[in-house]
Structure 1
């Protein structure tokens, strides 16, 4: 299995980036690779319509370390753990998302990496508009 780290520097404080990204209600505005419609809460589970079909998402609890790790249960039942960090950067914050090649051929994996890069670009735009 391959992994690739995708990152984006955002000209806002790490706290501002983390707060925006950690708000699951904001997912459809920036994380199109995950959520294409409103997030449905079912207890501590989040149900979202994604490009992969209906998936379940569970985020780690909010924390002071900028960790936004989340598990995505695919329609096949496979659980993919997505490590995500919001780090301090001299120009504001850097978001690092680790993409893992699970149940994907090389072309699909490359597509996922590009989708994550586009999501992080949208996150930058959204945070800039809300800062």
Structure 2
């Protein structure tokens, strides 16, 4: 299994990036690889229609450290733990997502990394716009 860190620098304060990214209602705006429709909240779980089908997502509790780690339960029943961080950067913030190769071919893994990069670019465009 491979892991790859995909990141983007956002020219705004980490607190602002975290606040926006942590809101379930904003996922559809920037995380197209995860949310293709409005998010349904079921307790601490989020139910999303994704390109993979219906997935369940659970984020870590809100915190002051910029940690947005989340577990995604895929339609196959496999749960993938996704590290996601917002950290201070000299130009504002850096958003870092660790993509893991679970149940993916090398080509699918490369595709997922590209999709994550596109999602992070979309997040940057929204926050810098």
Normalised-by-shorter TM-score class: over 0.9
Aligned to 1:77: 77
Cα offset, 1:53, TM superposition = 0.4
Residue 23 (structure 2) pairs with residue 20 (structure 1): no
**Matches of residues 63-102 of structure 1 in structure 2 within 5 Å?**
63-102=63-102
Q: Which runs of 5+ in 1 are unaligned?
A: none
DSSP 3-state at the match of 1:49: strand
Residue 102 (structure 2) pairs with residue 109 (structure 1): no
Residue 127 (structure 2) pairs with residue 127 (structure 1): yes
Cα offset, 1:44, TM superposition = 1.1
Q: Which runs of 5+ in 2 are unaligned?
A: none
Structure 1: 4+ residue segments shifted above 6 A: none
**What's the Cα RMSD here?**
0.5
* TM-score, scaled relative to structure 2: 0.99
Aligned to 1:32: 32
